[in-house]
A and B are shown apart, each in its own frame.
Chain A
Amino acid sequence: MERIPYIAVLVVYAVVLLAHLLPSAVPAGLRERVRLVAGVGALLHLATLAEEAVFSTWSPGLPEALSACSLGVMTAYFFVAHGQQRALGILLAPLAMVALGTALVVPHATVSALDQTDGLNVWLPIHLALLFAGVAGFALSSAVGVLYLYVRDALKKKRFDRIGRLPSLESLDRIQFRSMLFGFIALTLGIGAGGALATASFQESWALDPKVLYTLAVWFWYFVALQARLILGRRGRWTANFSIVGFGAMVFSLIGLNFILASWHSYG
């Protein structure tokens, strides 16, 4: 990974976090344009990722996966952080920073299946882009889910002083549902694109790959969450809990699983 542009991106994300965490430490002009700053950071991030993919001998592995997650989270923040969404910035900016920071320090390991992949296969970027868009949707949904549970708890316990300027329960619920739906659609298409990639590239059967099975389980988890909401009307706390557990499983899949199980997606 090229370090310098990523460090620059990290600094921009840190400014976004600082503007939310300690508004008085940041000049007013910057504070008012924090969403724009995040957008510029995300664009720089995207450009660096794209530049690596196009101009260098690219072999995506764990650092690239983490970097793409970080980009996804920041993009999600850019699209929903209208007005004074301070809490959202405090939750999402550190998530993006941790993912990108980890990407910079973990040793590089390529996803093993890529050795067999034709580098020009068009399904590879589609598969990756859709999956990380899905991860971004789920990250946003779970971050908003945490906020939802927090505001709900404060209301139930009548601790009005804890709520401050946080958004209303219904708007948090709406964002967590929509971003989950977005993540689900992207994940579904991403899995499909992965299937197309495997069919085009590999000789062996890919359907029994442990990572594929695990991801299908995560997909099913979100499927249940969305069905519970769309058919039974179970929303709010239900969606938040499904979302938080689902994202935990997704993160585990991205980071932990590839090291534990021998799979086509394992690193190294």
Chain B
Amino acid sequence: MNKIKLTLAATGLNNTDNPGPGIPVIRGIRESNAFDLRVIGLAYETLEPGIYMEDMVDKVYIIPYPSEGTEALIQRIEAINSIEKIDVLIPNFDAELFTFMKAEEKLVAMGIRTFLPTIEQFEERHKSNLPDFGKKYNIKVPESKPILNHSDIKSIKDDFEYPVMVKGKFYDAWVAYNEEQVRIYFNKISAKWGLPVIIQEFVKGTEVNVIALGDGKGNTIGAVPMRKQYITDKGKAWGGITLDAPEMLELTDHIIKSTQWKGGMELELIRTSKNELFVIEINPRIPAWVYLAVGAGQNLPEALVKLALGQKVEPYSKYDIGKMFVRYSWDMIVDLKKFEQISTEGEI
């Protein structure tokens, strides 16, 4: 089989206890037989572990945070692209997706392809828009309400029963049992992720997740349901298992079909004791546990790259049930020279 020469750029190299999806995405693509691959890692911080994983990335560049503005980020990508000739770029952070979506035309003009949701798809599934999303697509979602300041906290008791979930617009979720706790989490979250902070009805049940890939035409290219078996104090999955859950896949198909979802997606669901499924979040990207899907037989990162390249991709029809992932930490020994190079030159 002729391999396609591919230069792939990916962000999310922060394989920490709050892991980004970059390294598992790259790992999946590296395992594909379809590509003659060169991987360009794009990092925000000099201590993102993926920078130093030489078997994963061929070259790494530091890029400016999206908060520094679209222009600064795109200029940096332009400079990197003039050297590397990137074919496909996979952004892996919620906080940077909007910037890359907005810059899609510029990226295409540079010869860089992405496979991201549209801005409309991205916006309507926001945590603060979830109730409208639920109504529009006939999906069970918890009640939620964005709050912008301390004075909104008092009125929470008019709309919700305690406990409630207090969530950041991109990350972080805490259970608050009273007004005082909401105030604490509001300060914590707004300082880190900005406003609004979202108050969400607490739905009792088991959290389950689905990773999925939509082709942008209403078809599900792949989907794997999972339950977290081991959760860190940051709420991240440190172990998980694939499930036999046709009702979760049905819900995923329904969402992808009705939104014509384009790109990777993670559904965060709560299954109640009555077996009802509530959508609590839709993350518009591949999650960090994507390698479980690869291990279970669905190489979704590979499929995403093929879709970005405009190739026809046959949907996956099965996966292994009861396949587990167990995450671990590993100390790499790194020469100071490398750290010096990435710190001073912004590339390695």
Q: Do A and B come from one complex?
A: no
Q: Which residues of B pack against A, CB within 8 Å?
A: none
Q: Which residues of A pack against B, CB within 8 Å?
A: none
